[in-house]
Structure 1
Amino acid sequence: MKMNDLTADLLARLQNGIDRRKEEVLVPKTKMNMEILRVLKEEEMIIDYTEVEEGLSVEIVYDGKEPMVTHFKRVSSPGQRIYIASKDITPVLNGRGIAIISTSKGLMSGAMAKSQKLGGELICKIW
């Protein structure tokens, strides 16, 4: 079966893995997924991700028994792109979460995009 929105699939798999308290989650390997995982690693929301034969293996961060990340929200979708100017970027959950934005300089967190005065497509929010 062909998957249309691989980013939504990535977020759903991560959410399901966290809900089931898994230490590792297997996700499809795409350039976009690798970039999203790179940003999550930079923001210390995942431990690491590695390439495996079946795709990408993501190690999830837990603080004791509680996950560091509990919610993933897809904002822009293939059918409805959502764009945001740098002046309109606001902190997610008063700074406890991040927004991932696709800018002309690549994918980055909302805080990084705002500091570089870059707007772009608002891919997702994670907290």
Structure 2
Amino acid sequence: MITDPIADCLTRIRNGYLSNNMIVEMQYSKIKKDIINILYNQGLISSYKIERRKKEKFVIKVAIKYNKYTGTSVIKCIKRISKPSLRQYCKYKKIPRVINGLGIAILSTSKGIMTDKIASKKKLGGEIICFIY
């Protein structure tokens, strides 16, 4: 049994790009889909697809994006910030900047999951899920 499905999702992506895999699979959940959708919209992954397996089981297939010239992953670091044992919350004025604005922070707000830039524009604070750069 997985106690932290978000950490499992981020770890699968991290292990995928560290071992130069093209595609990683994980169990479906709405929060995972929202996080992966943000990664896709930010250009950090190539694509993703939700497939149905067996009875009532869905999986998300994520295609990791690599630099075509160097062959390295576009994602350099993916780090879980708020954990089930220690939640990290912030107000919209105190949202941390990742690598001086070059990376992104993903937040869970009252209006859904969004990036740090969108949350700042909407003046929403929330739980800091992860940093990605």
Work out whether the TM-score is over 0.5: yes
Structure 2 residue matching 1:50: 3-state secondary structure:
strand
Query: For 1:30-45, what aligned pairs fall within 5 Å after superposition?
Result: 30-45=29-44
2:61 paired with 1:57: yes
Offset at residue 90 of structure 1 (A): 3.0
CA-based RMSD: 1.1
d(CA) in 2 for partners of 1:67 and 1:88?
30
| Matched residue type, 2:50 | E
Offset at residue 35 of structure 1 (A): 0.8
2:121 paired with 1:126: no
Percent identity reads 37
Show the counterpart of 1:46: 45
Query: For 1:1-127, what aligned pairs fall within 5 Å after superposition?
Result: 2-52=1-51, 53=53, 55-64=59-68, 65-127=71-133
Offset at residue 73 of structure 1 (A): 0.7
d(CA) in 2 for partners of 1:77 and 1:102?
13
Contact 1:100 1:110 in 2 (8 A): yes
Post-superposition CA distance 1:21-45 (Å, at most 9, x none)? 1111111211111110011111111
TM-score, normalising length from structure 1? 0.94
d(CA) in 2 for partners of 1:20 and 1:28?
20
d(CA) in 2 for partners of 1:91 and 1:69?
17
Contact 1:91 1:111 in 2 (8 A): no
Stretches of structure 1 lacking an aligned partner (at least 5 in a row) = none
Runs of 4+ aligned residues of structure 1 deviating over 4 Å after TM superposition are: none
Offset at residue 14 of structure 1 (A): 0.4
Which one has the largest radius of gyration?
Answer: 2
Stretches of structure 2 lacking an aligned partner (at least 5 in a row) = none
